[in-house]
Amino acid sequence: MGFRTAILGATGAVGQEFLRLLDERQFPLDSLTLLASKRSAGKTMTFKGETLTVQEVTHDCFDRIDLLLSSAGGSISKEFAPSAVKAGCVVVDNTSYYRMDPIVPLIIPEINSADIANHQGILANPNCSTIIMLLPLWPLQQALGIKRVVVSTYQASSGAGAQAMQELKEESLAVLNNQDYERTVIPLPYAFNLFPHNSDMLENGYCEEEMKMMEETKKIFKAPDFKVSATCIRVPILRAHSESINVEFEKATSVEDIYSILSSAPGIKVMEDRAANRWPMPIDVSGKDEVLVGRVRKDPTQENTFEMWVVGDQLLKGAALNAVQIAEAL
């Protein structure tokens, strides 16, 4: 009655969340197979009290798998997703590799779950910063129409994987103890420091992470001219992304109307306490499913324009949770 499910990249930061979510959400499993690259094969992980051994991914390992949750990096998805599809498996891919492929649906279930039915074997999970931004923007786009978005992100180490999270902690400890530390994952000093996202730079001066937010939004919203300008910054935070968003609407509106629209939208929660001066923070959402929105205020410098502040767990709604929701919708 359930799915024979495999997790590719099971030992990674997102992979670990997949395991937790499949258990917690009582995902209908017939079997669970843990896959990873050769490096991680042989490791063991616990699921519902059972010890599972991670197996090396190979091209012929998908015969008895119905559903593959893939989160082991773009090059691994590129290599193995076609073999999985050939074996009859449906792939929910959490890497960037297939996202902009026109035949691959790019899904945030709260926004475009109807597109899931169009899949030809592969479904893509959007970039984490894109998901966190679009959850609050989608109900506003429907109700008010959005003319233009300017967004600056505050992205956590988890976006660079479990090792980056560990490295941030180790480097911070070394700095606090006045010790040297040799980084091997993050290419730039990260403890008590921040830096523009280190993905590849494009000719236009934006980096790939920024272009993902700008281009994936157009595909998910089915709005080829949708306007987003993004600045992506890595901050020394463990697992939640924050975003400062300036939105210009087509229609006139008010802070009250925006909060009313956001309050009834799925997947997000308004956190707004002006009296206590208390707003969404990364530790509020770490390990939580919901994306928090607050600090909605009218931008006095331009008509129909508002500022807002959005925070979401990068590993959950930004990655594993969204992918599991796609699988559930299947």
Query: Which residue, 40 or 130, is less far from a copy of itself as judged by CB?
Result: 130
Name the packing angle between helices 255-263 and 128-144 (round to 10°): 120
Q: What is the 3-state secondary structure (H, E, C) of 52-120?
A: EECEECCCCCCCCCCEEEECCCHHHHHHHHHHHHHCCCEEEECCCCCCCCCCCCECCHHHHHHHHHHCC
| Residue 161 lies near a copy of itself (rule: CB under 8 A) | no
DSSP category for residue 158:
G
- Which one among 103, 114, 201, 223 touches a copy of itself, defined by CB under 8 A? 201
Which residues share a beta bridge with 72? none
Instruction: Enumerate residues 270-309 that contact a copy of itself by CB under 8 A.
Output: 274, 277, 279, 281-283, 295-302, 305, 307, 309
In 94-187, which ranges are E strands?
Answer: 122-124, 146-154
| Residue 205 lies near a copy of itself (rule: CB under 8 A) | yes
Out of 61, 128, 207, 232, which one is annotated catalytic? Answer: 128
Asked if 40 and 100 count as a contact pair (C-beta separation under 8 A), the reply is no
Asked if 40 and 66 count as a contact pair (C-beta separation under 8 A), the reply is no
- Which one among 18, 154, 221, 249 touches a copy of itself, defined by CB under 8 A? 154
Q: For 68-95, give one letter per residue: b (16+ CB within 10 A) or e.
A: bbbbbbeebbeebbebbbebebbbbbbb
Smallest separation (angstroms) from a copy of itself to the CB of 157? 9
| Residue 182 lies near a copy of itself (rule: CB under 8 A) | no
Query: Which residue, 114 or 283, is less far from a copy of itself as judged by CB?
Result: 283
Smallest separation (angstroms) from a copy of itself to the CB of 262? 15
Q: Is residue 232 annotated as part of the catalytic site, yes or no?
A: no
Query: Which residue, 25 or 298, is less far from a copy of itself as judged by CB?
Result: 298
- Would you tell me which residues interact with a copy of itself (CB under 8 A)? 148-150, 152, 154, 168-169, 172-173, 176, 188-189, 192-196, 198, 200-201, 204-207, 227-229, 231, 233, 235-238, 242, 244, 246, 255, 274, 277, 279, 281-283, 295-302, 305, 307, 309
